[in-house]
Amino acid sequence: MLVDRRLLLKGATLGLGALAIPAWAQVLTARGFSHGVASGEPGQDRVMLWTRYVPGAGQPSRLRWEVAQDPDFATVIVRGEAETSPERDWCVKPVAEGLAPGGWYFYRFIDGNGVASPIGRTRTLPDGPIDRFKIGVFSCSNLPFGYFNAYAHAAQRQDIDLVLHLGDYLYEYSRGSYPTAEQTVAGRLIFPENEIVALADYRLRYATYRSDPDLQRLHQLFPMIMMWDDHESANDSWEGGAQNHQSATEGEWPVRKAAAMQACREWLPVSEESWKSYRIGQLADLFRPETRLTARSRQLNFSNFMQGRTDVAQAIAEFRDGPLHSEQRTMLGMEQEAWLAEGLRRSVADKVPWQVLGQQTIMGSVFLPPEIAAMRSEGVAPEIRGQVELAFTASQAGVPGNYDMWDGYPAARSRLLKSSLEADSNLIVLSGDSHNAWAFELEQDGTAAGAEFAGHSVTSPGQERTMRAEPELVARAWVGHNPQLKWAKTSHRGYLTLELTPERATGEWNFLETITQPSLGLASRHAMSVRRGTNRFEAA
């Protein structure tokens, strides 16, 4: 269904003109429908709706909501009521049920005085055989680094059916740290200024991000499935802590973790379930796991392990063959691993062509190439050069360099890929977190077990910010040294789309010209395809 977006945006409380309104006025003094509308968690007959409504003094807090087949609401399909309250930061998340599969719908909220919210558009998941389905995939949107042009570009497309956000929807850092004050794009300020730790902090940071007009528009036009990564809580978070959490000054980790989870579930149309699957007609099963806060083992620290070791080669071997490959280390936890293995088996048994795993960090294996080691060593302090040389030596001995992604949990990765092979699945892995674009063929014991489309970031900087060499040389070095890595691009921000048909899965990376100013311009695109039954890439 083609939709006149001018009609959808009519009456919006915030739009492009909001860029001229001081951020503090938007975030701190907003009343009424303060942050637009959103939808998510689609099923064949239902979808979750979302809005935030702050009543004025003496105003009622009860809202009505309606779902219709048309943007004029001449044919209302289902309606209901919801109560807004400060206990949920004035956010409501009713679920509209009784809808038809695969249909586009329009929805709105109405307050006690008859004032309506902006009109949203959403879609239920299809049922039965379908010819195609396209997902827009996003991750790593750090507001001070630039404009959310990736959201704006996707919002004006007519071919996207569903939006999937793989985390780092927001960042927890204090103003001026990441990015620095000099790196911050003018006007892209976050609230509160401090690092977010308490529930009120997380709520205000969500309010800041959700005031962005491009993010609002994306939410307004498409249903979203989302799961947090680390920065929705704190950097490199795991079940029992985070790199960016100091208990002595920031309190107990379980309290902060609970606050982060609560604020996310208040401010987004997301399920209260930690992991969930979604059937997309007789075409695909989409699995949405939780990889951070419920069961992830603590990341290894190679530098700490090596301290005081005089026999470097022996120490590297001990690290590789000991803690790195420990069977006890897990990303998902054993309960979730079993759920996913059973889900893959059931999906294949139901003759569903594709099994799509939308998760957070890169699954493909990456080792440090000599060219990258040389680039990182050039012009740096001797102690940094020594760390790079040690990392390269470890890489040559089969030790990866990033322990926060699946390379830091190789036994858990093997269990997952073995489950894929045992189920005979057509596994497509979608990943975020790295800020750059990658395509991996995932192998287990030499057998193709899946294909990974790793998406680049909305705004967070990639390797073009840290490498002095030309990005093409950087990408060529990574690909040339890592057999599973079939393509990479380490510059430009943007987003990924995944189009599924019964015989082919095609990923297309969209690279923006700029994020330093509002723009819909694309610098380039790149597409790669996987034919069903191969788990291998071929030209799209």
Give me the DSSP letters along 317-332. HHHIIIIIT-TT--SS
pLDDT (tens digit, 9 = 90+) per residue, 436-445? 999 999 999 9
Closest CA to 253 of 243, 244, 241: 241
As a whole number of angstroms, the distance between CA 198 and CA 339 comes to 32
pLDDT for 539 equals 74
pLDDT (tens digit, 9 = 90+) per residue, 431-487? 999 999 999 999 999 999 999 999 999 999 999 888 878 999 999 999 999 999 999
pLDDT for 433 equals 98
Mean pLDDT of 62-82: 97
Q: Is the pLDDT of residue 363 over 90?
A: yes
pLDDT band at 262 (very low <50, low <70, confident <90, very high): very high
pLDDT band at 27 (very low <50, low <70, confident <90, very high): low
For the chain, what is the mean pLDDT? 93
Q: CB 520: neighbour CB atoms within 10 A?
A: 11
Q: Is the pLDDT of residue 228 over 50?
A: yes
Write the CB contacts of 329 (distance below 8 Å, at least 6 apart in sequence).
297, 323, 408, 409, 411, 412
CA angle 245, 266, 335 (to 5 degrees): 65
Write the CB contacts of 235 (distance below 8 Å, at least 6 apart in sequence).
172, 242, 243, 244
3-state secondary structure of 143: helix
Query: DSSP label at 144?
Result: G
- pTM higher than 0.85: yes
3-state secondary structure of 13: coil
Domains of the chain, CATH where assigned: 1-124 (2.60.40.380), 128-296+331-366+402-540 (3.60.21.70)
E-assigned strands of 337-426? 354-358
pLDDT for 21 equals 42
Query: Nearest 10 degrees: CA dihedral of 248, 253, 259, 261?
Result: 150
E-assigned strands of 198-321? 223-226, 276-280, 284-288
pLDDT for 28 equals 65
Query: What is the amino acid identity at position 418?
Result: K
